[in-house]
Amino acid sequence: MKVFISADMEGIAGKVHWEFSKESDSAEWDRDRQIMSEHVKAAIEGAIEGGASEIVINDSHMSMRNLAIDRFDFEQVEVITGQPKPLCMMEGIDNTYSAAFLIGYHGMSGAHPGVLNHSFCPLSIREIKINGIPVGELGVNAGIAGYFNVPIALVAGDNVMAEEAQARMGDVEVAIIKEALNMTTAKCLPLKAANELIKQKSRSAVQRCKDMKPLVYDTPTELEVDFFMTNMADAAALIPDSQRKGGTKVSYISSDYLELFKTFQAMFMLGEHVRLDLRY
């Protein structure tokens, strides 16, 4: 039985500030990546106890080179590190998996009071909608798992993200490791308690995943991005067959969710390019 783990960072224990997200030689980033790795290790231990025989972990945060690989010395485990990746935070998943876990995840952009709430690009994307419903990284990535008929069986992060997961996916296992007070403040479980909770929920997620439903969006599927500035939408609208929906919004429709996702990834990279480059 195979388990896929997508590991992000903003939802980990103790993390409440963007500065820590910028990977560099900073002590804060190093601390956060150790905690992120400890959470993933706890999820691995629980999954193995629950019966997982193969586990693939995809490093899903920023440079996607955060995880400390020396924590994962289990014969069942392999780790995907680096970028770019066609499936981004879900790279590596396919229809041979029984369950997917989203560890260290956070609420969508605008989800008050979610800790470090954002959707893929905190400085360029205001909102993403799929078939008219607002979604964040969780909803977009669950759709990739759903394309391969894999249910999201466990999410770990703050309570705002957990509510989002339950609203979208019903009976998913949730490990709430911090309570959001506002975007940059949280009441956190200490590391040992957070890891114990993740391990316990992971074990139960593996045992229960056969009864969980994958998230599959109706087709044709429309994904709309609302950017912060019109120049970001100008850039994203260069994608053939995209539709401009007013000043800051661009949408794309496809019956193939992977094509839709790859187009979305190209859109946000174009939007980010304009933001960083400031050429226009």
Active site residues: 118
Is residue 164 involved in binding Zn ion (CB under 5 A)? Answer: no
Which of 130-138, 143-151, 181-189, 240-248 is the region at the interface with Zn ion (rule: CB under 5 A)? 130-138
Count of residues in contact with Zn ion, rule CB under 5 A: 2
Q: Give the H or E element holding residue 119.
A: none
Our CB check for Zn ion shows the closer of 19 and 218 to be 19
The token pair that represents 51 in the structure block: 């019966």
Which of 7-15, 168-176, 204-212, 263-271 is the region at the interface with Zn ion (rule: CB under 5 A)? 7-15
The token pair that represents 86 in the structure block: 């066609």
Residue 129 bridge partners (DSSP):
134, 224
* Nearest alpha-carbon partner for 34 in 80, 67, 65: 67
Which residue sits closest to Zn ion, CB atoms considered?
8
- Residue from 6, 7, 8, 271 touching Zn ion (CB under 5 A): that is 8
CB of 137 to Zn ion, least distance (A): 5
Which of 45-53, 137-145, 198-206, 246-254 is the region at the interface with Zn ion (rule: CB under 5 A)? 137-145
CB of 106 to Zn ion, least distance (A): 6
Q: Which residue has the tokens 């369950």?
A: 99
Our CB check for Zn ion shows the closer of 154 and 237 to be 154
Q: Give the H or E element holding residue 194.
A: helix 191-208
CB of 244 to Zn ion, least distance (A): 27
The token pair that represents 66 in the structure block: 């955060």
The token pair that represents 137 in the structure block: 């990284």
Contacts of 265 by beta carbon, 8 Å cutoff, 6+ apart: 86, 88
Is residue 38 involved in binding Zn ion (CB under 5 A)? Answer: no
**Preceding amide of 190 cis, omega within 30:** no
Is residue 127 involved in binding Zn ion (CB under 5 A)? Answer: no
Q: For the window 84-123, what string marks contact with Zn ion as x by the rule CB under 5 A?
A: ----------------------------------------
DSSP state of 239: S
CA-derived radius of gyration, the chain: 18
Question: What residues make contact with Zn ion under the rule CB under 5 A?
Answer: 8, 137
